[in-house]
Structure 1
């Protein structure tokens, strides 16, 4: 009897341990801890980006340690990553480009001219059609930003101001979605 109880306890502990390694949001399974370029990052927070009652993507923020201060993240030179898991077939390359351009405009308080070259280079990330279950990752060390689609590196854009503007789309003073910002900040 003790042997059976011990076996059940071990199996249960293993199950709970495995389950605790992931977080599920809107049928998207996110790893709570990942390795990026040899640096361990943890899931700071995540949520669904919705517009007009439609769920579009799951946005998640990964950092070396939990941080709830958006400005600290935006100005940090520590490795950080925003991941977008597409969950809607309504997202097209054209709509994503339009939305991201509007996001840069909001992030930069309407003055995109100083970063227009970088923004245009980054926008090429959305040149191919976007499908449900595509995953975009934006990884920055504070000075350069790498953009991936389905783990394929698409572009690298240099500059602190650019990475601040990009991450500001989700974490800035005029975020794409205030509720998502708060969830990404773990609030």
Structure 2
């Protein structure tokens, strides 16, 4: 009996350590990989619009940090995980929101990366409630864009990575309290 309890406890502990971060009712993994680099969950929260939960998002770094500028400008492995949490989010609404985010993140100077932004927003054409996206930056390679477990595209350039992470961490983020949560504050 005691041995069975220890086994059950150990299994529970192992299972809970793989997915332990609860973000707005969405379970986020504690760790992710960017190439060969292990990343840890830095923080996350929910994006709301008109009091509706739109998506849950988490930030993953090599080591925890609350310095938004350093994170955005770093040429090192990192990731963002985003899960749609509403059936009311349409592909057009998501594309519009992401386009606005890039406008804000670049101070209105999207033109130099517009082709990359267009390639990126194309992944949202078939989204639905529960869809998971991973945006994994690997230096020298670019941002690997996953829909579920499937690699959709790789978008090259540190300039694109800075703007992408700037959507949530920039001077004019998608949502101020979400930025603070992603920074672990």
TM over 0.5: yes
Aligned length: 183
User: Residue 88 of structure 2 aligns with which residue?
Assistant: 90
Compute the displacement of 1:142 (Å): 4.3
User: Residue 37 of structure 1 aligns with which residue?
Assistant: 35
Partner SS, residue 47 of structure 2: strand
Partner SS, residue 67 of structure 1: coil
CA distance in 1, matches of 2:68, 2:92: 28
Partner SS, residue 126 of structure 2: coil
Q: Using a 3 Å threshold, how does the CA distance of structure 1 residues 8 and 151 change in structure 2: closer, same or farther?
A: closer
Q: Which runs of 4+ in 1 moved over 2 A?
A: 6-21, 34-38
Would you say the 8 A contact 2:23–2:57 is kept in 1? Answer: no
Supply the RMSD in Å over aligned alpha carbons.
1.9
Partner SS, residue 127 of structure 2: coil
* 1:64-97 deviation per Cα after TM superposition (whole angstroms, max 9, x unaligned): 1111101111111211100101110011111111
Length-normalised TM-score, structure 2: 0.90
Structure 1: where are the runs of 5+ without partners? none
User: Residue 104 of structure 1 aligns with which residue?
Assistant: 102
Partner SS, residue 137 of structure 1: strand
CA distance in 1, matches of 2:14, 2:133: 28
Would you say the 8 A contact 2:85–2:130 is kept in 1? Answer: yes
Equivalent position to 1:15, from 2, 12, 17? 12
- Of structures 1 and 2, the larger Rg is shown by 1
Equivalent position to 1:48, from 32, 46, 70? 46
Partner SS, residue 66 of structure 1: coil
User: Residue 128 of structure 2 aligns with which residue?
Assistant: 131
Compute the displacement of 1:151 (Å): 1.7
CA distance in 2, matches of 1:67, 1:183: 12
* 1:101-125 deviation per Cα after TM superposition (whole angstroms, max 9, x unaligned): 0000000111111211221222211
CA distance in 2, matches of 1:156, 1:7: 47
